[in-house]
Amino acid sequence: MQRWQIWLPSLQRRLALPQTSLQLCVLGMLGGLAASILIILFRLAIIGLQSFFLDRTDDFSTVGTDIRWMLPLGAAVLIGLIAWLTGYKHYRLGIPFVIHRIKLKYGMMPTRNTLNQFFGGILALAGGFSVGREGPSVHLGAYGASTLGKYLQLPYNSIRILAGCGIAAGISASFNTPLAAVIFVMEVVLREYRVHVFIPIMLSSVVGALVTQTVFGSGRELALLNIVSISSWHIPYLVLCGIVFGAIAFVFNKNMMRLIKLFKNWPLILRLCLAGALTAAVGYVIPHAMGSETGAIYYAVNAPNDVTLLLTIFVGKMLLTLFALGLGVPGGVIGPIFGIGIVLGTLLAIIPSAIIGDNSIAGTYAVLGMAGLMAATMHAPLAALVAVMELAHNPGIIVPAMVVITTAYITGVQFFNNKSIFLLQLDFLQMPYKLSPADDVLQKVGVLALLDNQYQLLDNPDEQHVLQALDKLEPPHQLLVKRDTGAQSTFLLASYDVQLSMTGASAVQYLPLQGLTHQATMAEVFAILEDKREGAVYIYREEEPQQLIGIIRWDQVRSLLVKQNNLL
C-alpha cells in the first residue's frame, strides 16, 4: 500500500470537521491547479481555432462575409452532434447547473455534462456566438477540483468546498481577477461567508491567477480603455445611469426567460440551428456584435462618439446574446453582459463628454456600465464592484462604481422585481437550489467527525446471546446484531422493549439499520432518521461495505441541531 493511502483515513476524518485546516488549504490549491489547467486548455483551444480565420481574437469584423456567416452555423451543428453523442439528458450546463449541483450534490459534476461544456463551449466561442467563457470556466473548475476530492474519497462536505475552490480558480484563470473570483463564489454560487470556506477558496484563486499570468501574461481585459477619475459633479448623472442599467437588466432577464419558455419544447438540434442562423444573419450585418466582450471593447474605445455604430452594436449584442443563451448555446452570460454594459456606458458618456468638451471619460463610463449591468442582472453587487476595481486598476473608480451599482441593483429589485438570471433559470428548470436550515447546517459536517465506536457487534447470535449481551451493556454503548442472508448482510440495533415483554412476546426489539459511506454528511443521516427520530445508521467504507467503521445515533444529530441555533 502506498504511503499516502495510509495517511488517507486520518485526512478524511480531519476534513469531516467544518474547520480551517492546512490540509484543506493544500487540497484547495491542488484543486485550483487542476481547474486552472482545464481553463487554460479551454482558452488555448478557442484562441487556436480563432487564429485560423480572425486577425484579432474575438473580433469577427476581421473575417470575410463569405466565411463569417458559416461559422455559427457550423458550430451549432457540431455542438448538436456532441450533445447527441454524449446523450441529450447530459446537456445541463453552466452556472445555474453548477449552483444546483453545489447545493444538492456537493459540487460533484457528471463527466458527460462536462464534456458537453468543454467542447461545446470551445465551438460556441470560436464560432462567434455571443456567449461568455465564464460559464464553462465555472463548470470546468468545479469538475476539476471535485474530481480530486472524489479520487481521494474525501467527505462530501469537503468536496463541496473543493468545488468552490475550482470555481474560483476557473474564474481567476479566465479573467485574471482573483479577488472578484472569490467574491463571486461566495456571493453567487455558495451564497454564504464562512472563514473555513473562504481561506482555501482564496488560495485556489491565487493559484488560478498565477497560472493564467504564466501562460497569458499579466495583461488586463480592459487595458484598451482609458480609465480616469471623474469629479463629484458626475454623481447625479451616474444615479440616472444606474437607473438605466437596472431597467436594461430587467429587460434582458425578462426576455431571456421568455425565449427559454417559448422554445422549451423544441428539439435541441433545432434550437441550436436557429441560434446559429440568427447569429449568422445578424453577424453578417453587424459583425462587431459577434463573440464575447473583447470586440465590443475595441469599438467602444475607437469610436466613443459614433452614436449610430454604438447603438447598432448594443442592439445587435443584446439580440445575439438573448437568442444564443435562450436557445441553449453552451456559454456564460457574464462576458456578453460585460460587452453590452461597456457599449451602453460609452453611449451614456456622450452627454457629459459634450458638456466638458472631450471624450476622455468614455472609458470610465464604459467600465461603470459593465459593473452596473452585472450587478443588476446577476444580483452580484459586491462581485461587480470588486471586478471593476481589479480590471480598472484605478482606485478613483470605486466611489462612482458604488453609486452606479447600488442604484442599478435597487432599481432592478424594487421597481422591476427583477431576480438573478441564474435563479430565474433554476426556477424554470425546476432544479432545486435551496436547503432547509437543518440541511444547511448538517451538510457542513461529515459523519467521520462524529463517528461513534461505542457499540458491541454480535455475528448471527441466537436470542439467548442477545439477551445476555443486553444485560451486560452499559450506556451509552449500543448492541448491534449482524444477520447474514445469502450474499447480503443486514445490521440491526437491538434493545429491550418493555411493552413486548409484558405481553409475553420477545423482550428484544430489533431496529433495522441503513448504511452510509464514510463520505456522507450528517444531512444524509438526518434524512434517514428524521421520521422515527430514533435509532442509528452504520458507516462503512466503499471498498468494504460489510465492514462497519462506526455508527451515528439520532441523539448525535439532535444535539448538533440544537447546538446550531435550536434548529430541531
pLDDT digits (tens, 9 = 90+) for 307-329: 888 888 899 999 999 999 999 99
| 485 shares its domain with 427 | no
Work out the pLDDT band at 299, boundaries 50, 70, 90.
low
| 381 shares its domain with 471 | no
Q: Cα–Cα distance between 21 and 381 in angstroms, integer?
A: 30
Mean pLDDT for the chain overall: 86
Handedness of CA 237, 413, 222, 185 (dihedral sign): positive
Q: Across residues 438-447, what is the average pLDDT?
A: 89
> What string of DSSP letters covers 111-124?
HHHHHHHHHHHHHH
| 429 shares its domain with 539 | no
Q: Cα–Cα distance between 89 and 70 in angstroms, integer?
A: 28
Per the structure, the complete domain to which residue 559 belongs is given by 446-563
Work out the pLDDT band at 438, boundaries 50, 70, 90.
confident
Select from 401, 408, 389, 390 the least CA-distant residue to 230. Answer: 401
Q: Across residues 482-488, what is the average pLDDT?
A: 76
Q: At what angle do helices 307-326 and 235-262 cross, to 10 degrees?
A: 40
| 401 shares its domain with 493 | no
| 364 shares its domain with 395 | yes
Select from 273, 413, 386, 286 the least CA-distant residue to 339. Answer: 286
Q: For residue range 356-411, what is the model confidence (pLDDT) as tens digits?
A: 877 788 888 989 999 999 999 999 999 999 988 888 888 888 999 999 999 999 99
Q: Cα–Cα distance between 545 and 528 in angstroms, integer?
A: 18
Q: For residue range 322-365, what is the model confidence (pLDDT) as tens digits?
A: 999 999 999 889 889 988 998 899 899 988 888 887 778 888 89
| 334 shares its domain with 423 | yes
Q: Cα–Cα distance between 269 and 515 in angstroms, integer?
A: 43
Question: Is the residue at 441 inside a domain?
Answer: no
Res 1 pLDDT > 50: no
Contact 227, 370 (CB under 8 A): no
> Among 18-32, 63-77, 207-221, 296-310, where is mean pLDDT lowest?
296-310
Beta bridge partners of 479: 456, 494
Question: Is the residue at 482 inside a domain?
Answer: yes
State how beta strands 514-517 and 544-553 pair.
unpaired
Q: For residue range 260-283, what is the model confidence (pLDDT) as tens digits?
A: 999 988 999 999 999 999 999 988
| 397 shares its domain with 456 | no
Angle at 147 between CA 109 and CA 90, to 5 degrees: 25
Res 531 pLDDT > 50: yes
Q: In the chain, how many domains are there?
A: 2
Q: For residue range 170-228, what is the model confidence (pLDDT) as tens digits?
A: 999 888 889 999 999 998 888 888 888 889 999 999 999 999 888 888 766 666 677 77
Res 167 pLDDT > 60: yes
Q: Across residues 153-159, what is the average pLDDT?
A: 93
Other beta carbons within 10 angstroms of residue 432's beta carbon come to 10
Would you give the distance in Å from CA 462 to the centre of its chain?
A: 53
pLDDT value at position 249?
96
Q: Cα–Cα distance between 371 and 374 in angstroms, integer?
A: 5
| 251 shares its domain with 340 | yes
Contact 158, 15 (CB under 8 A): yes
Contact 250, 239 (CB under 8 A): no
| 363 shares its domain with 391 | yes
Q: Is the bond leading into 475 cis (omega within 30 degrees of zero)?
A: no
For the ranges 33-47, 421-435, 463-477, 503-517, the maximum mean pLDDT occurs at 33-47
According to DSSP, residue 226 is labeled: -
Contact 71, 309 (CB under 8 A): no
Res 500 pLDDT > 70: no
